[in-house]
């Protein structure tokens, strides 16, 4: 899973006199989990606050994927600890992957926190908090083979009211050798499709227009109703392509995205399903990690370079308009200059729309940490990362230039971050499109009653672009000007 961001989560809960302050780090899945935690805490009477000083409980949802992610969290924990000296009743909890990886160490050796809760134990929070309020430290890091939090209605935090994340599966069975996730999030399990459908339908009823279905490896989504529910008959297996079609059927105006796909599992059936439904957004995040088959073998990715390129070819054939984004790791154990050049050459063949790029960071306990020395010197990792990033910048610029002079259907998310004179939203390929707000006002006069506010669709002609953004004007306004 990618999308490295951190943030303070806001919520809009009923008035209360007990407050939870949350920070989330890492992947979208963690942000989605924080919404489950906020829901469990709301049942205990806690409202969400953005003011740390106001908090009775401080929770930090953590990421272990690279060492620097953990360092950031440690710095925040020291800060919370210092605050606690002035407010001893404040409870500090660590959630998520670091809770799972470090377990008692955070409580015992470092005395940094009161509460440690792993990703499968959030329903246990009421009992754990009670324990802490009774003067003890509390920990639950048990991983589950079943937990999917299917019945919990997440509290939407920091929401724009237009787009929402919906978790469809948890854990990962892949065992990529560099990755700590299978150890921190446990075995893969899929969520009941009816509960996913219900959650998406409710979001639609509340005015949301886009859902992103989340899982570490969505292509291996697999659901079979338990035998008891099918009166003894063998129930059909529900696969990811089936789920996509099911969720897309809620409304043609509900956009559906998903992340993350795995090159070994993404099927033509998924691609054909995407082609059949306009509202299945044309963007696939397909982490390649390396362009060298030798490195991919050591990474235990279970595909090689030709396989990846064949999957890209299938996407281009079946979905000619689809954006492809990726994750790349440089400097993995034993990566030679030749291997690195293969990554650059694969990038040139695919010309990704965008990429998350990382230097390899050894994670204790992973297969790679046990089996291979972390033998690429830091300076070489840095140089290779800079080369990969420079090439990707070039490709992002070119890919965005290809979007110019075309009309894009944009789902308006709100005002642009840079200027409240501008609106912004995404096209189907997940590219941010910015356009002047006055266009919207003027266009409203020309196109009558059409509502052009967050959550509505608007056609925008793109005139300019940078590596990260497309800039344009509302089509009707363009036509008036011409
Ligand atoms: N070092 C560097 N990057 C990593 N990723 C996962 N584990 C590591 C690691 N140990 C990257 C992969 C993955 C993304 C979420 O994070 O590219 O796809
Ligand atoms: Fe980690 Fe690989 Fe699973 Fe992604 S697919 S979470 S990289 S083990």
d(CA 419, CA 143): 45
Taking a C-beta distance cutoff of 8 angstroms, is the pair 244, 273 a contact? yes
- Taking only the tens of pLDDT, the chain with its 482 residues reads 333 334 455 455 555 689 999 999 999 999 999 999 999 999 999 999 999 999 999 999 999 999 999 999 999 999 999 999 889 999 999 999 999 999 888 887 667 899 999 999 999 999 999 999 999 999 999 999 999 999 999 999 988 999 999 999 999 999 999 999 999 999 999 999 999 999 999 999 999 999 999 999 999 999 987 766 656 566 789 999 999 999 999 999 999 999 999 999 999 999 999 999 999 999 999 999 999 999 999 999 999 999 999 999 999 999 999 999 999 999 999 999 999 999 999 999 999 999 999 999 999 999 999 999 999 999 999 999 999 999 999 999 999 999 999 999 999 999 998 888 899 999 999 999 999 887 666 666 665 545 668 999 999 999 999 999 999 998 877 665 55
Beta bridge partners of 135: none
CA 92 to chain CA centroid, nearest Å:
25
Ligand 1 pocket mutation pick from 3, 28, 65 by most atoms within 8 angstroms of CB:
65
- The closest residue, in CA terms, to atom 6 on ligand 1 is 179
Q: Is the peptide bond before 377 cis (omega within 30 degrees of 0)?
A: no
Tokens 């992947």 belong to residue: 27
Q: Could you tell me which of 155, 143, 150, 156 has the C-alpha nearest to residue 169?
A: 150
Tokens 């949802």 belong to residue: 61
Beta strands per DSSP E along 298-363: 323-330, 354-359
3-class state of residue 459 by DSSP: strand
Q: For 21, phi and psi rounded to 5 degrees?
A: -115, 130
List all residues whose CB is within 6 A of at least one atom of ligand 2: 172, 174-176, 179, 181-182, 216-217, 262
Beta bridge partners of 458: 410
Ligand 2 pocket mutation pick from 2, 3, 172 by most atoms within 8 angstroms of CB:
172
Confirm or reject: Cβ of 361 under 6 Å from ligand 1: yes
Q: How close is the Cα of 358 to the center of ligand 1, in Å?
A: 7
Q: How close is the Cα of 90 to the center of ligand 1, in Å?
A: 34
Q: Which atom of ligand 2 is nearest to the CA of 327?
A: 7
Tell me the CA distances in angstroms from 452 to 209, 267, 466, one per residue in order: 14, 37, 25
- The closest residue, in CA terms, to atom 2 on ligand 2 is 176
Q: How close is the Cα of 329 to the center of ligand 1, in Å?
A: 7
Supply 173's token pair. 């069975």
Helix, strand, coil shares of the chain as percentages rounded to 5? Answer: 40, 25, 40
d(CA 77, CA 70): 11
d(CA 72, CA 25): 9
d(CA 116, CA 461): 50
d(CA 36, CA 152): 7
Q: Which atom of ligand 2 is nearest to the CA of 180?
A: 1
Dihedral (CA of 211, 217, 221, 227) sign: negative
What is 32-65 written as a DSSP string?
HHHHHHHHHHHHTTEEE-S-GGG-SEEEEEE--S
- 88-102 pLDDT tens trace: 999 999 999 999 999
Contacts of 355 (CB under 8 A, 6+ apart): 325, 326, 327, 328, 347, 388, 392
Ligand having the closest approach to the CA of 364: 1
Confirm or reject: Cβ of 66 under 6 Å from ligand 1: yes
Beta bridge partners of 5: 26
- 112-149 pLDDT tens trace: 899 999 999 999 999 999 999 999 999 999 999 999 99
Q: How close is the Cα of 390 to the center of ligand 1, in Å?
A: 19
Residues 5-140, CATH architecture: 3-Layer(aba) Sandwich (3.40)
Taking a C-beta distance cutoff of 8 angstroms, is the pair 59, 27 a contact? no
What is 414-453 written as a DSSP string?
EE-SS-TTEEEEE-TT--EEEEEHHHHHHHHHHSTT---S
Residues 163-399, CATH architecture: Alpha-Beta Horseshoe (3.80)
Q: Which atom of ligand 2 is nearest to the CA of 260?
A: 4
The C-alpha R_g of the chain, in whole angstroms, comes to 23
Return the half-sphere exposure (C-beta side, CA atoms, 13 A cut-off) of residue 316.
10
Residues of the chain within CATH 3.80.30.20 domain(s) are 163-399
Q: How close is the Cα of 395 to the center of ligand 2, in Å?
A: 25
d(CA 282, CA 234): 34
Confirm or reject: Cβ of 287 under 6 Å from ligand 1: yes
Residues of the chain within CATH 3.40.50.12160 domain(s) are 5-140
The CATH number that domain 407-481 falls under is 2.40.50.140
Tell me the CA distances in angstroms from 113 to 82, 214, 456, one per residue in order: 11, 29, 44
Q: Could you tell me which of 397, 400, 479, 392 has the C-alpha nearest to residue 442?
A: 479
Dihedral (CA of 59, 260, 356, 187) sign: positive
Taking a C-beta distance cutoff of 8 angstroms, is the pair 285, 325 a contact? yes
What are the start-end ranges of the H helices in 223-324? 240-248, 268-276, 293-298, 305-318
Contacts of 411 (CB under 8 A, 6+ apart): 162, 163, 209, 210, 255, 425, 426, 455, 456, 457
Q: Could you tell me which of 286, 308, 363, 287 has the C-alpha nearest to residue 332?
A: 363
């Amino acid at each position: 899973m990618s999308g490295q961001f951190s943030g303070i989560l806001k919520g809009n809960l009923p008035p209360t006199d007990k407050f939870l302050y949350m920070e989330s780090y890492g992947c979208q899945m963690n942000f989605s989990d924080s919404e489950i935690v906020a829901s469990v805490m709301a049942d205990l009477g806690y409202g969400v606050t953005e003011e740390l000083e106001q908090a009775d409980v401080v929770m930090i949802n953590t990421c272990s994927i690279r060492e620097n992610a953990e360092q950031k969290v440690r710095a925040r924990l020291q800060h919370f600890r210092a605050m606690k000296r002035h407010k001893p009743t404040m409870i500090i909890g660590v959630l998520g992957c670091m809770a799972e990886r470090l377990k008692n160490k955070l409580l015992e050796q470092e005395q940094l926190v009161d509460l440690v809760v792993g990703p499968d134990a959030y329903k246990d929070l009421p009992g754990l908090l009670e324990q802490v309020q009774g003067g003890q430290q509390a920990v639950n890091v048990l991983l589950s083979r079943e937990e999917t939090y299917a019945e919990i209605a997440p509290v939407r935090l920091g929401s724009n009211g237009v787009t929402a994340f919906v978790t469809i599966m948890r854990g990962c069975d892949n065992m990529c050798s560099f990755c700590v996730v299978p150890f921190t999030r446990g075995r893969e399990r899929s969520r009941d499709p009816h509960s996913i459908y219900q959650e998406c339908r409710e979001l639609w009823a509340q005015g949301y227009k886009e859902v992103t279905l989340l899982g570490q490896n969505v292509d291996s989504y697999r659901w079979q109703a338990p035998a008891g529910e099918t009166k003894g008959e063998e129930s059909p297996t529900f696969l990811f392509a089936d789920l996509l079609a099911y969720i897309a059927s809620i409304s043609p105006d509900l956009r559906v995205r998903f992340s993350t796909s795995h090159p070994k599992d993404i099927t033509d059936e998924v691609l054909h399903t995407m082609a059949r439904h306009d509202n299945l957004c044309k963007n696939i995040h397909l982490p390649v990690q390396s362009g060298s088959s030798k490195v991919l073998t050591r990474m235990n990715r279970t595909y090689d370079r030709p396989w990846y390129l064949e999957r890209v070819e299938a996407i281009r054939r079946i979905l000619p308009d689809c954006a492809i984004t990726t994750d790349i790791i440089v400097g993995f154990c034993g990566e030679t200059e030749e291997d690195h050049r293969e990554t650059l050459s694969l990038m040139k063949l695919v010309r990704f729309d965008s990429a998350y790029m990382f230097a390899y960071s050894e994670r204790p306990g992973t297969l790679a940490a046990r089996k291979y020395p972390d033998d690429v010197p830091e300076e070489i990792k840095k140089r290779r990362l800079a080369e990969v990033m420079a090439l990707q910048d070039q490709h992002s610029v070119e890919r965005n230039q290809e979007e110019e002079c075309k009309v894009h259907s944009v789902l308006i998310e709100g005002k642009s971050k840079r200027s409240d004179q501008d609106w912004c939203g995404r096209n189907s390929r997940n590219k941010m499109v910015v356009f002047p707000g006055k266009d919207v006002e003027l266009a409203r006069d020309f196109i009558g009653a059409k509502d052009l506010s967050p959550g509505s669709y608007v056609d925008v002609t793109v005139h300019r672009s940078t590596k990260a953004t497309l800039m344009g004007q509302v089509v009707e306004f363009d036509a008036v000007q011409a």
